[in-house]
Structure 1
Amino acid sequence: MRKPIALAFGAALAAHPGAAEHGGSTHPAQDGAAPHPYVGMWVTEDNRVRHNLLPNGRYDEARGTRESAYQGRYEVTGNHIDYWDDTGFTADGTFVDDNTLHHGGMILYRRD
């Protein structure tokens, strides 16, 4: 089982805003730094699964009519995302491009 690692916020992302594109680990911003490039809502085509990647390194996932079905923290390294649910469940995914996320056998798309 993979152990969660602490999220590091702040100046590193502000100083290197393109780190995710070059394989570096980036985290959501705090204290006025630019937000992580993948922050926002990601949904399946049928809108059944909705991942909201929050700027503070947390996520909130809705499933069907169940809002906040899963909540926890996330970390992005390059185009890879790791999730640590508050209940201890872990998952991961891959950002195929700026608008497509493959996660747990699902394909999610960025919603504006």
Structure 2
Amino acid sequence: MFLAVSSATASPETGQGRSQVPHPYIGMWVTGDGHIRQELLPNGRYDEARGQRQSAYQGRYEVSGNRIFYWDDTGFTADGEFIDDVLHHGGMIFYREK
């Protein structure tokens, strides 16, 4: 079962109609070298920057337990796992930005 990051029955693409209940994984996640920055937004969307390229990838995501599933706007899909407040995704490790 997939859970949207906010309690709602709205479209993840628009976020319309969502009641904003903060999810513990919402926020900015960054690789150790700072090259890749992935922001998980409260409306079920993400925005990923790579180096100087802002918004290199954008799409929607859903969280199920400690798993995250991504659907990029171009059709690419991916997943990841949160372990001890660290995101493991695509062979990379992301840390919560403080």
Alignment TM class, shorter chain as reference: 0.7 to 0.9
Structure with the bigger percentage of helix: 1
TM superposition score normalised by structure 2: 0.83
2:15 paired residue number: none
Measured in 2, the distance between the counterparts of 1:103 and 1:31 equals 28
Which protein has the larger Cα radius of gyration, Structure 1 or Structure 2? 1
- Match status 1:106 vs 2:88: no
Give the length in aligned residue pairs: 87
* 1:26 to partner: Cα distance: 2.8
For structure 2, the residue ranges without an aligned partner over 5 or more in a row are 7-17
- The residue type paired with residue 4 of structure 2 is H
TM superposition score normalised by structure 1: 0.73
Between the aligned residues of both structures, percent identity stands at 68
The secondary structure found in structure 2 opposite 1:26 is: coil
For structure 1, the residue ranges without an aligned partner over 5 or more in a row are 1-23
The secondary structure found in structure 2 opposite 1:72 is: strand
2:12 paired residue number: none
- The residue type paired with residue 109 of structure 1 is Y
* 1:27 to partner: Cα distance: 1.7
Q: Any runs of at least 4 consecutive aligned residues in structure 1 with deviations exceeding 3 A, and if so which?
A: none
Any idea what the Cα deviations from partners look like across 1:30-49, whole Å, max 9, x if unmatched?
Answer: 324x2111000000001000
